[in-house]
Amino acid sequence: MRAIAIENYGGIEQLKEIEAPLPEVGPKDILIEVYASAINPVDIAIREGYFKERVAHEFPVVLGYDVAGVVAAVGSDIKKFKVGDEVYSYTSLDRNGTYAEFVAVNEEFVALKPSNLSFVEAASVPLVGITAWHALVKEAIVKEGQKVLVLGGSGGVGSFAVQLAKAQGAIVSATTSTKNSELVKELGADFVLDYTKESLPASEYDVIFDTVGGYQIKELVGATKEDGKIISITSRLSPTSQQLVDAKGIHYNLIFSSPDGESLDQLSTLLSKGKIRPVVGTIFSLSDVKEAHLLSESKRAVGKIVIQVK
């Protein structure tokens, strides 16, 4: 099968088209014919070698951890899915990736694709959607009427988080640049803060979800109510920062998302009802993965960067 892989860690020059064997399908696996994949910051981190101590990859490594496609084969123990089902998934970091024509995924990580989404739209959802779900629903336990601030409201995770917080009944604020303010309002933000011009208000928010980094912890603590919550996907706290957080009784969590078919099923319900919609930014072909990585590295992408494979 056709795939884009790396044979060493490094820059975009390491991304090369190869002819790869079809993935092996275990008893609990589903073989998915890939219609669309997507780019995430973790792809770049793995390409550059930042995860080599955590995940033991054998070269060549096919990157990509979002997929939407059609079930091509199922393992002997599979009961939930059948050949021909339209599915999507956030796949495991330690297996074959989704910059390819086929990918094998553990059944537990897969969900049926909402029928109202195209494959391109569906591929934009799993990793960012599960990350936002884990942050706001599982960790922060956002409740109706709470004030939630999403830092980076127009990005891949942020654009999903704005909608999810709104669906939970929160009063949602989000930071973004001037040019993306209208998009963030359309996604449901009650208030939009232009980070190039405005400071964060004092002691305003029950929950702050940091999807981008860039703010000093002192600013975030100052904007959070006493006994509030700060959820981050970007930064660990230094001992000094931890003291600032503790002094105000704030709960700080750095989260790492992981594949989770059950959470994806929950998101599918919201997507099917139109309470959340995918935000697809730029679409590339499989041959243009290098350009897609460059756009992701620029941190100027709006919404998700999608790779259309078929």
CATH (residue range 128-254): 3.40.50.720
**Chain segment 95-142, per-residue pLDDT in tens:** 889 999 999 999 999 999 999 999 999 999 999 999 999 999 999 999
- CA 249 to chain centroid: 29
Q: Kindly state the tokens that stand for 19.
A: 């002819």
**Chain segment 162-208, per-residue pLDDT in tens:** 999 999 999 999 999 999 999 999 999 999 999 989 999 999 999 99
Predicted local distance difference test score (pLDDT) of residue 56: 79
Around Cβ 215, how many Cβ atoms within 10 Å? 18
CATH 2.102.10.10 fits 2-125+278-308, yes or no: no
Q: How confident is the model at residue 301 (pLDDT cuts 50, 70, 90)?
A: confident
**Chain segment 48-90, per-residue pLDDT in tens:** 999 888 887 889 999 999 999 999 999 999 999 999 999 999 9
pLDDT at 257 over 90: no
Bond prior to 60 in cis (omega within 30° of 0)? yes
Domain boundaries, the chain: 2-125+278-308, 128-254
The most distant pair of C-alpha atoms in the chain lies apart, rounded to whole Å, by 58
Q: Say if 2-125+278-308 and 128-254 have the same CATH topology.
A: no
**Chain segment 217-230, per-residue pLDDT in tens:** 999 999 999 999 99
The phi and psi torsions of 117 (rounded to 5 degrees) equal: -110, 140
Average pLDDT of the residues in 155-168:
96
CA distance to 64, 103, 138, 228, 289, per residue, from 40 (Å) = 8, 17, 22, 29, 12
Q: What pTM, to 2 d.p., does this model score?
A: 0.95
Query: Are the CB atoms for 72 and 33 separated by under 8 Å?
Result: yes
**Chain segment 4-54, per-residue pLDDT in tens:** 999 999 999 999 999 999 999 999 999 999 999 999 999 999 999 998 888
Exposure on the CB side of residue 27, measured as CA atoms within 13 A: 1
d(CA 94, CA 58): 10
Average pLDDT of the residues in 284-305:
94
Identify which of 215, 153, 224, 213 has the alpha carbon closest to the alpha carbon of residue 189.
153
Exposure on the CB side of residue 269, measured as CA atoms within 13 A: 7
d(CA 17, CA 200): 45
Q: How confident is the model at residue 288 (pLDDT cuts 50, 70, 90)?
A: very high
Predicted local distance difference test score (pLDDT) of residue 299: 83
Predicted local distance difference test score (pLDDT) of residue 235: 86
d(CA 254, CA 6): 29
Predicted local distance difference test score (pLDDT) of residue 52: 86
d(CA 257, CA 276): 19
d(CA 160, CA 163): 5
d(CA 139, CA 78): 31
Mean pLDDT, rounded, of the chain: 96
Identify which of 12, 6, 9 has the alpha carbon closest to the alpha carbon of residue 298.
12
Predicted local distance difference test score (pLDDT) of residue 111: 98
Report CA Rg, the chain.
19
pLDDT at 262 over 90: yes
Query: Are the CB atoms for 129 and 267 separated by under 8 Å?
Result: yes
